[in-house]
Structure 1
Amino acid sequence: MDIEKLKFPIGKFVKPVKITSGHLQEWITDISTFPARISKEVLDLTDPQIDTPYRPDGWTLRQVVHHCADSHMNSLIRLKLALTEDQPVIKPYFEELWAELTDTKNMPIHPSLKMLEGIHERWTSLLNSLTKDQLERVFIHPEQGKTFRIDENIGLYAWHGNHHLAHIVETKKRHNWI
């Protein structure tokens, strides 16, 4: 079993040299459709299946679903900060510690699926309204010591959803749940 392939089933995010309107349309579509796509993959799973790790020493599928809600909520907040403040320094969070909290490890996935639906509906509406100038606005990620442009972050989060969706799909395939 190739651990790197289990960790990154679709590979790591690669930012295009030049982000085009075509990239943005594709990424916004991925973000827009993510809640329906993840729900389709997890709603019929049993609790023992949902509590299966996607890789050795990895998160369970339950933790992956809850993580997506947490992460995408943070991304929407970062977008709003970048749109309303001048180069804000965002607040990072310890996703690996959030994944160990009781709500992430033990709660049913339905509340996070509902969160994703609402977050993505608002996020998509906002993304579709952005001007060229707004797409170039930035936020600073102090933990990574990097400045992120909004257009780049759209691509990163389209990838993020597809990345975690692939964790679920590949786990289902390996266990013959499809």
Structure 2
Amino acid sequence: MKSSTLESLKYPIGHFSCPTEISIQEINKWITVLESFPVKLTNIVLNLNEEQLNTPYRPNGWTVIQLVHHIADSHHNSYTRFKWALTEDAPVIKAYEEKDWANLVDASTSPVILSLNYITALHAKLVYLLKGLTDDQLNRSFIHPYGKTKVTVAENIGSYAWHSNHHYAHIKNLCEREGWF
């Protein structure tokens, strides 16, 4: 497989690029993505059978079920990072080995509905929190241990809106390539 094709399978909507200046309109757009994502994801995933759920979205990639469980794990960690940034002074967050998590039994074999329900509840709480933030809170930050990168709450909103669309595109593109809908 050509590397350009593999890259487009890995990053079907491109890499996240955060604007230097983040407007309130951009934040509201990202929050809307986070708000609508659980229904959008559920609608595409619930129509898939067991074989389809266990199909990798690309060669050597995660299966659909692993993607859905990864989204739940990742967004769970992000929610905690939002809370840390909002309640502590630029905390260094804990990173996790997402590839290892995706190979655990719950991420590779548990019913997909568990994570779909979790994502629905988690996003409802997250969106409620994000809609109530002040400008000062949007500028609070955490520090990622890899590269000691400072990430603001506003940037993290954008990153997780992108992350939602990124993995949705993996599933949607797989379904289209395989003719599943």
Coarse TM-score class (shorter-chain normalised): over 0.9
**Counterpart in 2 of 1:79?**
82
Give the 4+ runs in structure 1 shifted more than 4 A.
none
1:171 equivalent among 143, 162, 174 = 174
Alignment partners' CA distance in 1, 2:147 and 2:53: 31
In structure 1, what residue type is equivalent to 2:116? L
Aligned to 1:149: 152
Tell me how far 1:164 sits from its aligned partner. Answer: 0.1
Alignment-derived partner of residue 107 in structure 2: 104
2:32 aligns with 29
Letter paired with 2:27: L
For residue 138 of structure 2, what is the aligned residue in structure 1?
135
TM-score, structure 1 as length reference: 0.99
Hey, what's the Cα distance between the residues in 1 that align with 2:32 and 2:168? 15
Q: Deviations over 1:53-106 (max 9, x none)?
A: 000000000000000000001000000000011111111000000000000011
Distance, in Å, in 1 between the alignment partners of 2:147 and 2:18 is 16
In the alignment, the residues of structure 1 paired with residue 71 and residue 167 of structure 2 have an alpha-carbon distance, to the nearest angstrom, of 8
Alpha carbons of structure 1 residues 96 and 120: separation in structure 2 relative to 1, 3 Å? same
SS at match of 1:89: coil
For these two proteins, the number of residue pairs brought into alignment is 178
Q: Counterpart of 1:26 in 2: which secondary structure? A: helix
Structure-2 residue corresponding to 1:116 = 119
- Give the gaps of 5 or more residues in structure 2: none
- 1:28-57 CA-to-partner distances (Å, cap 9, x unmatched) read 000011100100110010000000000000
Which of 30, 41, 44 in structure 1 is aligned with 2:44?
41
What TM-score do you get using the length of structure 2 for normalisation?
0.97
TM-superposed deviation, 1:144: 3.5
Unaligned runs of 5+ in 1: none
